[in-house]
Amino acid sequence: MERLVLVHGSVVNGPATWASQLGLADRFELVVLNRPGFPPNPPVERVDFEQDAELVAAEVGEGAHLAGHSYGGVISLLAAARRPDAVRSLTVVEPPATLVAAGNPAADRMAEDARAWWESGPRDDPEAFLRGFLHTVGSTRELPSPLPPELEQGARALVVERGPWEAEIPLDVLHAAPFPKLVVSGGHNAAFDVICDVLERRLPAERVVLPGYGHSVPRHPGFTEVLAEFVERAASRR
């Protein structure tokens, strides 16, 4: 059975991000990660995509397919570049890797707005900080108030997160890597669209757009089968 590692992004943990994909355990050896700082793990003082990329690269083991959403997509790109011999396929969903599209007005604006929010946003009020963040990424998630404990922990992890606008993606390494790549977006945000367009060209990668769910693309009813079919095709090519 093919091993599929799912890497969540900011705010919520693996089972919350990939709830619609948990049924894939019937088709793959499914590994749903909970990154450091996210429940049930204890809080951390710093979330860093480079450190988490090392953990994900180790999780690949002797061979696995990788799929990452949002910040987890940035981590997965970096992890795959570290283990091109062991990664069997790579799927990224709206990674906020703005540097790959530097010079594009939408991508530059996303980076600038996010940097400004981290510098001047209400870091001592995790709920308010989270609400502002969700607005910047086009999330349609409805937040309860006050936040439940797990979501509050995720908001506190967000406050101490290293900005993905700093991530330098080794596109040449990934281009040379033999495994298939897939880039998925939700067609709701010009910055995410252009980042995914650049990745489509530079990796190169297959490209899918699944509109209607904002940044929460894994919730789209068609996403699970898109991911499963891509992984199965990648496995058959080997």
127-145 pLDDT, tens digit each: 999 999 888 776 777 889 9
Peptide bond into 204 cis (omega under 30): yes
Cα–Cα distance measured from residue 6 to residue 97, given in angstroms and rounded to the nearest whole number: 18
20-71 pLDDT, tens digit each: 999 999 999 999 999 999 999 999 999 999 999 999 999 999 999 999 999 9
- Among residues 90, 92, 89, 91, the alpha carbon closest in space to that of 236 is found at 89
Residue 169 sits in which domain range?
3-237
Average pLDDT, the chain: 96
The Cα-based distances of 235 to 45, 75, 228 in angstroms read 38, 22, 11
Residue 108 pLDDT > 70, yes or no? yes
The pair phi, psi for residue 82, each rounded to 5°, is: -75, -25
pLDDT confidence of residue 138 = 65
Peptide bond into 180 cis (omega under 30): no
The pair phi, psi for residue 134, each rounded to 5°, is: -60, -35
Phi-psi region of 115 (alpha: psi -120 to 50; beta: other; left: phi over 0): alpha
- Among residues 94, 47, 34, 102, the alpha carbon closest in space to that of 68 is found at 94
| CATH number for position 221 | 3.40.50.1820
**Helices (H), strands (E): how many in the chain?**
9, 6
Cα–Cα distance measured from residue 88 to residue 210, given in angstroms and rounded to the nearest whole number: 23
Kindly state the percentage of the chain with pLDDT values over 90: 94
Q: How many CA atoms lie less than 13 Å away from 222 in the CB half-sphere?
A: 9
pLDDT category of residue 111 using cuts at 50, 70 and 90: very high
Peptide bond into 40 cis (omega under 30): yes
Cα–Cα distance measured from residue 13 to residue 229, given in angstroms and rounded to the nearest whole number: 24
Cβ neighbors of 229 (< 8 A, separation 6 or more) are none
pLDDT confidence of residue 179 = 98
Cα–Cα distance measured from residue 88 to residue 129, given in angstroms and rounded to the nearest whole number: 37
Split into its structural domains, the chain has a count of 1
The Cα-based distances of 181 to 22, 44, 176 in angstroms read 21, 31, 12
pLDDT confidence of residue 142 = 81
pLDDT category of residue 196 using cuts at 50, 70 and 90: very high
pLDDT confidence of residue 181 = 98
pLDDT confidence of residue 91 = 99
